[in-house]
Amino acid sequence: MKTRLALLLHVPALAATLAAAGCGDRARDDDTLRIGAIVEMTGEMPAVGASSRNAAELAVDVLNAAGGITVAGKVYKVELLVEDNAAKPDQSAAAANKLITQDNVLAIVGPNASLGAIPASEIAEASQTLLITPWSTNPKTTLDNRTGLPKKYVFRACFTDPFQGQVLARFIMEKLGAKTAGVLYDVASEAPKSQAELFRTTFEELGGSVVAFETYTTGDRDFSAQLTKIKSVNPDVVFLPAYYNDVGLIAQQARRQGIDQPLVGSDAWSSPELIKLSEGAVEGAYFANHYAADIATPTAKKFIGAYQEKYGNPPDDVAALTYDSFGLLFEALRSASAPERQAVRDAMATVSGYTGVTGEIRFSPGSGDPVKSAVIMQVKGDRFTWVMNAAP
Protein backbone atom coordinates (compact mmCIF):
# COMPACT_ATOMS: atom_id res chain seq x y z
CA MET A 1 0.00 0.00 0.00
CA LYS A 2 1.32 3.41 -0.87
CA THR A 3 0.66 6.82 0.57
CA ARG A 4 -0.50 9.30 -2.06
CA LEU A 5 0.43 12.98 -2.02
CA ALA A 6 -2.51 15.33 -1.67
CA LEU A 7 -4.00 16.74 -4.87
CA LEU A 8 -3.94 20.50 -4.53
CA LEU A 9 -7.56 20.86 -5.56
CA HIS A 10 -10.50 22.38 -3.77
CA VAL A 11 -12.94 19.59 -2.95
CA PRO A 12 -16.11 21.24 -4.34
CA ALA A 13 -14.30 22.08 -7.58
CA LEU A 14 -13.05 18.53 -7.89
CA ALA A 15 -16.52 17.18 -7.16
CA ALA A 16 -18.01 19.38 -9.88
CA THR A 17 -15.40 18.15 -12.35
CA LEU A 18 -16.22 14.54 -11.53
CA ALA A 19 -19.94 15.14 -11.95
CA ALA A 20 -19.40 16.78 -15.31
CA ALA A 21 -17.07 14.05 -16.48
CA GLY A 22 -19.54 11.26 -15.73
CA CYS A 23 -17.09 8.71 -14.33
CA GLY A 24 -17.11 5.28 -15.92
CA ASP A 25 -18.50 2.16 -14.34
CA ARG A 26 -15.93 -0.51 -15.10
CA ALA A 27 -15.43 -1.62 -11.51
CA ARG A 28 -14.92 -5.26 -12.40
CA ASP A 29 -13.25 -7.64 -14.84
CA ASP A 30 -14.63 -11.03 -15.77
CA ASP A 31 -14.16 -12.58 -12.34
CA THR A 32 -13.23 -9.82 -9.85
CA LEU A 33 -14.97 -6.90 -8.19
CA ARG A 34 -12.78 -4.04 -6.99
CA ILE A 35 -13.60 -2.44 -3.64
CA GLY A 36 -11.69 0.56 -2.32
CA ALA A 37 -10.79 1.37 1.29
CA ILE A 38 -9.54 4.75 2.56
CA VAL A 39 -7.81 4.53 5.94
CA GLU A 40 -5.72 6.72 8.25
CA MET A 41 -2.47 4.74 8.13
CA THR A 42 -0.23 7.75 8.74
CA GLY A 43 -0.78 11.17 10.30
CA GLU A 44 -2.45 11.91 13.63
CA MET A 45 -4.34 8.64 14.21
CA PRO A 46 -2.48 5.63 12.80
CA ALA A 47 -4.11 3.21 15.25
CA VAL A 48 -7.46 3.97 13.62
CA GLY A 49 -6.09 3.24 10.17
CA ALA A 50 -4.40 0.02 11.23
CA SER A 51 -7.61 -1.32 12.79
CA SER A 52 -9.67 -0.41 9.74
CA ARG A 53 -7.22 -1.90 7.25
CA ASN A 54 -6.97 -5.11 9.27
CA ALA A 55 -10.73 -5.56 9.41
CA ALA A 56 -11.09 -4.75 5.71
CA GLU A 57 -8.50 -7.38 4.79
CA LEU A 58 -10.16 -9.93 7.10
CA ALA A 59 -13.62 -9.31 5.61
CA VAL A 60 -12.35 -9.78 2.06
CA ASP A 61 -10.23 -12.81 2.97
CA VAL A 62 -13.18 -14.54 4.66
CA LEU A 63 -15.44 -13.86 1.68
CA ASN A 64 -12.94 -15.05 -0.91
CA ALA A 65 -12.02 -18.14 1.11
CA ALA A 66 -15.70 -19.10 1.11
CA GLY A 67 -15.74 -19.00 -2.69
CA GLY A 68 -16.48 -15.36 -3.37
CA ILE A 69 -19.80 -13.58 -3.80
CA THR A 70 -22.69 -14.16 -6.19
CA VAL A 71 -24.01 -11.04 -7.89
CA ALA A 72 -26.85 -11.32 -10.42
CA GLY A 73 -26.20 -15.03 -10.85
CA LYS A 74 -22.43 -14.86 -11.34
CA VAL A 75 -19.70 -15.61 -8.78
CA TYR A 76 -16.92 -13.06 -8.25
CA LYS A 77 -13.87 -12.75 -6.05
CA VAL A 78 -13.28 -9.37 -4.39
CA GLU A 79 -10.07 -7.35 -4.80
CA LEU A 80 -9.31 -4.82 -2.05
CA LEU A 81 -7.51 -1.58 -2.97
CA VAL A 82 -6.32 0.41 0.07
CA GLU A 83 -5.38 4.10 0.06
CA ASP A 84 -3.85 6.05 2.96
CA ASN A 85 -5.37 9.50 3.52
CA ALA A 86 -2.89 10.47 6.29
CA ALA A 87 -5.93 11.66 8.33
CA LYS A 88 -6.15 14.80 6.17
CA PRO A 89 -9.13 16.25 4.28
CA ASP A 90 -7.35 16.98 0.98
CA GLN A 91 -5.70 13.57 0.84
CA SER A 92 -9.06 11.97 1.56
CA ALA A 93 -10.57 13.68 -1.47
CA ALA A 94 -7.54 12.72 -3.55
CA ALA A 95 -7.77 9.09 -2.45
CA ALA A 96 -11.48 8.93 -3.33
CA ASN A 97 -10.79 10.52 -6.69
CA LYS A 98 -8.05 8.00 -7.49
CA LEU A 99 -10.08 4.98 -6.45
CA ILE A 100 -13.07 6.09 -8.50
CA THR A 101 -11.48 7.48 -11.67
CA GLN A 102 -8.24 5.48 -11.96
CA ASP A 103 -8.86 2.23 -10.11
CA ASN A 104 -12.53 2.03 -11.12
CA VAL A 105 -13.73 0.60 -7.82
CA LEU A 106 -17.33 -0.48 -7.42
CA ALA A 107 -17.65 1.10 -3.95
CA ILE A 108 -15.53 2.62 -1.18
CA VAL A 109 -15.36 1.88 2.55
CA GLY A 110 -13.93 4.78 4.58
CA PRO A 111 -12.51 7.16 5.59
CA ASN A 112 -13.18 6.74 9.31
CA ALA A 113 -12.59 10.15 10.87
CA SER A 114 -15.13 12.80 9.89
CA LEU A 115 -12.41 15.24 8.84
CA GLY A 116 -11.66 12.89 5.93
CA ALA A 117 -15.04 11.26 5.44
CA ILE A 118 -16.80 14.54 4.67
CA PRO A 119 -14.62 15.57 1.69
CA ALA A 120 -14.40 11.99 0.42
CA SER A 121 -18.19 11.73 0.58
CA GLU A 122 -18.51 14.78 -1.64
CA ILE A 123 -16.36 13.12 -4.28
CA ALA A 124 -18.34 9.89 -4.04
CA GLU A 125 -21.68 11.69 -4.28
CA ALA A 126 -20.62 13.70 -7.33
CA SER A 127 -19.33 10.59 -9.09
CA GLN A 128 -22.37 8.51 -8.11
CA THR A 129 -20.28 5.91 -6.31
CA LEU A 130 -21.36 4.22 -3.09
CA LEU A 131 -19.29 5.19 -0.04
CA ILE A 132 -19.77 3.66 3.42
CA THR A 133 -17.93 5.26 6.32
CA PRO A 134 -17.42 2.98 9.31
CA TRP A 135 -16.75 5.56 12.05
CA SER A 136 -17.70 9.08 10.92
CA THR A 137 -20.41 10.32 13.29
CA ASN A 138 -20.66 13.92 12.02
CA PRO A 139 -24.08 14.64 10.42
CA LYS A 140 -22.38 16.50 7.54
CA THR A 141 -20.96 13.25 6.17
CA THR A 142 -24.29 12.01 4.84
CA LEU A 143 -25.93 15.40 4.15
CA ASP A 144 -25.64 17.51 1.00
CA ASN A 145 -23.89 20.72 2.02
CA ARG A 146 -25.99 22.81 -0.40
CA THR A 147 -29.49 21.46 0.16
CA GLY A 148 -29.22 19.91 3.62
CA LEU A 149 -30.92 16.80 2.23
CA PRO A 150 -29.44 13.28 2.56
CA LYS A 151 -26.79 12.34 0.05
CA LYS A 152 -27.91 9.45 -2.16
CA TYR A 153 -24.62 7.54 -2.36
CA VAL A 154 -23.21 7.96 1.16
CA PHE A 155 -23.96 5.67 4.11
CA ARG A 156 -22.45 5.02 7.53
CA ALA A 157 -22.22 1.98 9.82
CA CYS A 158 -22.11 3.99 13.06
CA PHE A 159 -24.53 6.12 15.05
CA THR A 160 -24.46 9.90 14.63
CA ASP A 161 -23.32 12.75 16.86
CA PRO A 162 -26.85 13.95 17.71
CA PHE A 163 -27.65 10.51 19.14
CA GLN A 164 -24.30 10.29 20.88
CA GLY A 165 -24.81 13.75 22.38
CA GLN A 166 -28.16 12.64 23.82
CA VAL A 167 -26.68 9.43 25.22
CA LEU A 168 -23.76 11.16 26.92
CA ALA A 169 -25.79 14.09 28.27
CA ARG A 170 -28.34 11.73 29.83
CA PHE A 171 -25.63 9.44 31.24
CA ILE A 172 -23.76 12.34 32.83
CA MET A 173 -26.89 13.82 34.35
CA GLU A 174 -28.82 10.68 35.33
CA LYS A 175 -26.06 8.19 36.17
CA LEU A 176 -23.25 10.47 37.38
CA GLY A 177 -25.58 13.02 38.97
CA ALA A 178 -23.78 15.96 37.35
CA LYS A 179 -25.54 19.30 36.93
CA THR A 180 -22.60 21.28 35.52
CA ALA A 181 -20.00 20.39 32.90
CA GLY A 182 -16.81 21.81 31.50
CA VAL A 183 -16.00 21.02 27.86
CA LEU A 184 -12.67 21.03 25.98
CA TYR A 185 -12.52 20.11 22.28
CA ASP A 186 -10.58 20.55 19.02
CA VAL A 187 -12.33 23.37 17.17
CA ALA A 188 -10.51 22.51 13.92
CA SER A 189 -11.71 18.90 13.77
CA GLU A 190 -15.19 18.09 12.46
CA ALA A 191 -16.30 15.25 14.76
CA PRO A 192 -15.10 16.69 18.10
CA LYS A 193 -16.59 20.09 17.24
CA SER A 194 -19.92 18.53 16.34
CA GLN A 195 -19.90 16.34 19.45
CA ALA A 196 -19.15 19.28 21.74
CA GLU A 197 -21.87 21.48 20.30
CA LEU A 198 -24.53 18.76 20.29
CA PHE A 199 -23.64 17.66 23.81
CA ARG A 200 -24.02 21.24 25.09
CA THR A 201 -27.42 21.57 23.41
CA THR A 202 -28.76 18.33 24.88
CA PHE A 203 -27.24 18.82 28.35
CA GLU A 204 -28.77 22.27 28.66
CA GLU A 205 -32.14 21.06 27.34
CA LEU A 206 -32.11 18.49 30.16
CA GLY A 207 -31.54 21.23 32.71
CA GLY A 208 -27.76 21.06 33.03
CA SER A 209 -25.33 23.95 32.66
CA VAL A 210 -22.14 24.02 30.58
CA VAL A 211 -20.00 26.36 32.68
CA ALA A 212 -16.87 26.23 30.49
CA PHE A 213 -16.68 25.66 26.74
CA GLU A 214 -13.00 25.71 25.81
CA THR A 215 -11.26 24.95 22.52
CA TYR A 216 -7.86 24.07 21.13
CA THR A 217 -6.53 23.47 17.61
CA THR A 218 -5.22 20.27 16.05
CA GLY A 219 -1.54 19.86 16.90
CA ASP A 220 -1.66 21.77 20.19
CA ARG A 221 0.21 20.15 23.08
CA ASP A 222 -0.18 22.69 25.88
CA PHE A 223 -3.72 22.85 27.31
CA SER A 224 -2.86 24.59 30.57
CA ALA A 225 -4.74 27.85 29.84
CA GLN A 226 -7.97 26.08 28.94
CA LEU A 227 -7.71 23.68 31.88
CA THR A 228 -7.09 26.58 34.28
CA LYS A 229 -10.39 28.14 33.16
CA ILE A 230 -12.20 24.85 33.57
CA LYS A 231 -10.75 24.34 37.05
CA SER A 232 -11.77 27.85 38.10
CA VAL A 233 -15.48 27.12 37.55
CA ASN A 234 -15.32 23.74 39.31
CA PRO A 235 -17.69 21.70 37.08
CA ASP A 236 -19.18 18.41 38.24
CA VAL A 237 -17.71 16.64 35.22
CA VAL A 238 -15.30 17.39 32.35
CA PHE A 239 -16.38 16.35 28.86
CA LEU A 240 -13.53 15.74 26.37
CA PRO A 241 -14.82 14.94 22.88
CA ALA A 242 -11.36 14.51 21.39
CA TYR A 243 -9.42 11.84 19.51
CA TYR A 244 -7.46 9.35 21.58
CA ASN A 245 -4.11 10.84 20.56
CA ASP A 246 -5.05 14.17 22.24
CA VAL A 247 -6.98 12.81 25.23
CA GLY A 248 -3.98 11.14 26.84
CA LEU A 249 -2.06 14.40 27.07
CA ILE A 250 -5.09 16.49 28.07
CA ALA A 251 -5.97 14.06 30.85
CA GLN A 252 -2.42 14.06 32.23
CA GLN A 253 -2.31 17.86 32.33
CA ALA A 254 -5.78 18.02 33.91
CA ARG A 255 -4.80 15.68 36.71
CA ARG A 256 -1.56 17.58 37.33
CA GLN A 257 -3.59 20.77 37.71
CA GLY A 258 -5.69 19.11 40.37
CA ILE A 259 -8.80 18.56 38.26
CA ASP A 260 -10.10 15.38 39.85
CA GLN A 261 -13.68 15.43 38.53
CA PRO A 262 -14.85 12.51 36.36
CA LEU A 263 -13.68 12.64 32.75
CA VAL A 264 -16.16 11.64 30.04
CA GLY A 265 -15.45 11.21 26.34
CA SER A 266 -16.97 10.32 23.01
CA ASP A 267 -16.37 7.40 20.67
CA ALA A 268 -13.20 9.15 19.51
CA TRP A 269 -11.56 7.72 22.67
CA SER A 270 -12.09 4.13 21.59
CA SER A 271 -8.57 3.09 20.53
CA PRO A 272 -6.73 0.99 23.16
CA GLU A 273 -3.75 3.27 22.48
CA LEU A 274 -5.52 5.79 24.74
CA ILE A 275 -4.63 3.78 27.84
CA LYS A 276 -0.93 3.75 26.95
CA LEU A 277 -0.82 7.43 26.01
CA SER A 278 -2.64 8.61 29.14
CA GLU A 279 -0.28 6.88 31.60
CA GLY A 280 -3.11 6.22 34.04
CA ALA A 281 -4.76 9.63 33.80
CA VAL A 282 -8.00 8.26 32.31
CA GLU A 283 -8.46 5.51 34.89
CA GLY A 284 -12.15 5.34 35.80
CA ALA A 285 -13.22 7.64 32.95
CA TYR A 286 -16.29 6.93 30.82
CA PHE A 287 -16.94 7.21 27.10
CA ALA A 288 -19.54 6.27 24.48
CA ASN A 289 -18.72 3.46 22.09
CA HIS A 290 -20.17 1.38 19.27
CA TYR A 291 -19.83 -2.10 20.79
CA ALA A 292 -18.49 -3.86 23.86
CA ALA A 293 -16.40 -7.00 23.47
CA ASP A 294 -17.22 -8.19 26.99
CA ILE A 295 -20.94 -8.53 26.16
CA ALA A 296 -20.35 -9.78 22.63
CA THR A 297 -23.12 -11.46 20.64
CA PRO A 298 -22.42 -14.72 18.76
CA THR A 299 -21.77 -12.69 15.60
CA ALA A 300 -19.33 -10.45 17.46
CA LYS A 301 -17.59 -13.39 19.16
CA LYS A 302 -16.94 -15.03 15.80
CA PHE A 303 -15.41 -11.82 14.46
CA ILE A 304 -13.36 -11.18 17.60
CA GLY A 305 -11.92 -14.69 17.47
CA ALA A 306 -11.01 -14.49 13.79
CA TYR A 307 -9.48 -11.02 14.17
CA GLN A 308 -7.42 -12.00 17.21
CA GLU A 309 -6.17 -15.16 15.52
CA LYS A 310 -5.08 -13.24 12.42
CA TYR A 311 -3.58 -10.13 14.05
CA GLY A 312 -2.70 -11.18 17.61
CA ASN A 313 -4.73 -8.52 19.40
CA PRO A 314 -8.44 -7.89 20.06
CA PRO A 315 -10.35 -5.60 17.67
CA ASP A 316 -11.51 -2.15 18.68
CA ASP A 317 -14.72 -0.46 17.57
CA VAL A 318 -13.16 0.89 14.35
CA ALA A 319 -12.30 -2.66 13.32
CA ALA A 320 -15.80 -3.87 14.23
CA LEU A 321 -17.46 -1.05 12.30
CA THR A 322 -15.22 -1.58 9.28
CA TYR A 323 -16.12 -5.27 9.26
CA ASP A 324 -19.80 -4.32 9.47
CA SER A 325 -19.35 -1.84 6.60
CA PHE A 326 -18.04 -4.62 4.39
CA GLY A 327 -20.84 -6.89 5.62
CA LEU A 328 -23.41 -4.28 4.61
CA LEU A 329 -21.73 -3.87 1.23
CA PHE A 330 -21.67 -7.63 0.62
CA GLU A 331 -25.34 -7.81 1.60
CA ALA A 332 -26.12 -5.14 -0.99
CA LEU A 333 -24.03 -6.89 -3.65
CA ARG A 334 -25.90 -10.15 -3.18
CA SER A 335 -29.23 -8.44 -3.89
CA ALA A 336 -28.01 -6.05 -6.60
CA SER A 337 -29.42 -6.44 -10.09
CA ALA A 338 -25.93 -6.09 -11.58
CA PRO A 339 -22.34 -5.58 -10.39
CA GLU A 340 -22.52 -1.89 -11.30
CA ARG A 341 -22.28 1.25 -9.18
CA GLN A 342 -25.88 2.41 -9.47
CA ALA A 343 -27.30 -1.06 -8.91
CA VAL A 344 -25.17 -1.56 -5.80
CA ARG A 345 -26.18 1.81 -4.39
CA ASP A 346 -29.86 1.05 -4.98
CA ALA A 347 -29.50 -2.32 -3.25
CA MET A 348 -27.69 -0.70 -0.32
CA ALA A 349 -30.62 1.64 0.26
CA THR A 350 -32.91 -1.36 0.79
CA VAL A 351 -30.76 -3.19 3.38
CA SER A 352 -32.83 -3.68 6.52
CA GLY A 353 -32.24 -5.57 9.73
CA TYR A 354 -28.63 -6.57 8.99
CA THR A 355 -27.11 -8.28 12.04
CA GLY A 356 -23.51 -7.20 12.38
CA VAL A 357 -20.72 -7.20 14.93
CA THR A 358 -21.97 -3.92 16.40
CA GLY A 359 -25.60 -5.04 16.51
CA GLU A 360 -28.58 -4.81 14.22
CA ILE A 361 -28.30 -2.16 11.52
CA ARG A 362 -31.24 -0.74 9.60
CA PHE A 363 -31.38 2.51 7.68
CA SER A 364 -34.01 5.18 8.09
CA PRO A 365 -36.05 5.61 4.87
CA GLY A 366 -34.26 7.96 2.49
CA SER A 367 -31.22 8.26 4.74
CA GLY A 368 -27.73 6.76 4.93
CA ASP A 369 -27.79 6.96 8.74
CA PRO A 370 -28.54 3.72 10.59
CA VAL A 371 -30.80 3.32 13.58
CA LYS A 372 -28.71 1.50 16.20
CA SER A 373 -27.66 1.44 19.84
CA ALA A 374 -24.62 2.76 21.69
CA VAL A 375 -22.81 1.52 24.78
CA ILE A 376 -21.13 3.32 27.66
CA MET A 377 -17.65 2.04 28.53
CA GLN A 378 -15.33 2.69 31.49
CA VAL A 379 -11.54 2.57 31.59
CA LYS A 380 -10.41 0.01 34.16
CA GLY A 381 -6.73 -0.81 34.26
CA ASP A 382 -5.65 -1.91 30.78
CA ARG A 383 -9.18 -2.56 29.52
CA PHE A 384 -12.39 -0.87 28.42
CA THR A 385 -15.31 -2.44 30.29
CA TRP A 386 -19.03 -2.31 29.54
CA VAL A 387 -21.22 -0.16 31.80
CA MET A 388 -24.62 0.07 30.08
CA ASN A 389 -26.45 0.01 26.75
CA ALA A 390 -28.23 3.01 25.27
CA ALA A 391 -30.94 2.26 22.71
CA PRO A 392 -32.35 4.83 20.26
The structural domains of the chain, with segments of one domain joined by +, span 11-158+297-372, 161-289
pLDDT of res. 28: 54
Please state the separation of Cα 85 from the chain's center in Å. 14
Residue-level pLDDT, tens digit, the chain, 392 residues:
333 333 333 444 455 444 444 444 545 568 999 999 999 999 999 999 999 999 999 999 999 999 999 999 999 999 999 999 999 999 999 999 999 999 999 999 999 999 999 999 999 999 999 999 999 999 999 999 899 999 999 999 999 999 999 999 999 999 999 999 999 999 998 889 999 999 999 999 999 999 999 999 999 999 999 999 999 999 999 999 999 999 999 999 999 999 999 999 999 999 999 999 999 999 999 999 999 999 999 999 999 999 999 999 999 999 999 999 999 999 999 999 999 999 999 999 999 889 999 999 988 889 999 989 999 999 999 999 999 999 87
pLDDT at 30: 80
What was the pLDDT predicted at 254? Answer: 98
Q: Whole-angstrom Cα distance, residue 177 to residue 209?
A: 13
Pairing status of strand 370-371 against strand 359-363:
antiparallel
Burial class (CB in 10 A: 0-12, 13-18, 19+), 7: middle
CA distance 227 to 256: 10
Rounded to whole angstroms, the Cα distance separating 356 from 156 reads: 13
Q: Write the CA distances from 272 to 42, 268, 275, 318, integer angstroms.
A: 17, 11, 6, 11
* Residue 9 confidence (pLDDT): 39
The span from the CA of 276 to the CA of 252, in Å, is 12
The domains spanning 11-158+297-372 and 161-289 adopt the same CATH topology:
yes
Residue 212 near residue 235 (C-beta atoms within 8 A): yes
CB contact at 8 A, 49 and 83: no
Q: What is the dihedral of CA 262, 263, 264, 269, to 10 degrees?
A: -150
Q: How far apart are CA 317 and CA 329, in angstroms?
A: 18
Report the CATH architecture of 11-158+297-372. 3-Layer(aba) Sandwich (3.40)
Q: Residue 152 in contact with residue 348, Cβ under 8 Å?
A: no
**For position 29, what pLDDT does the model report?**
61
CATH code for the domain defined by 161-289: 3.40.50.2300
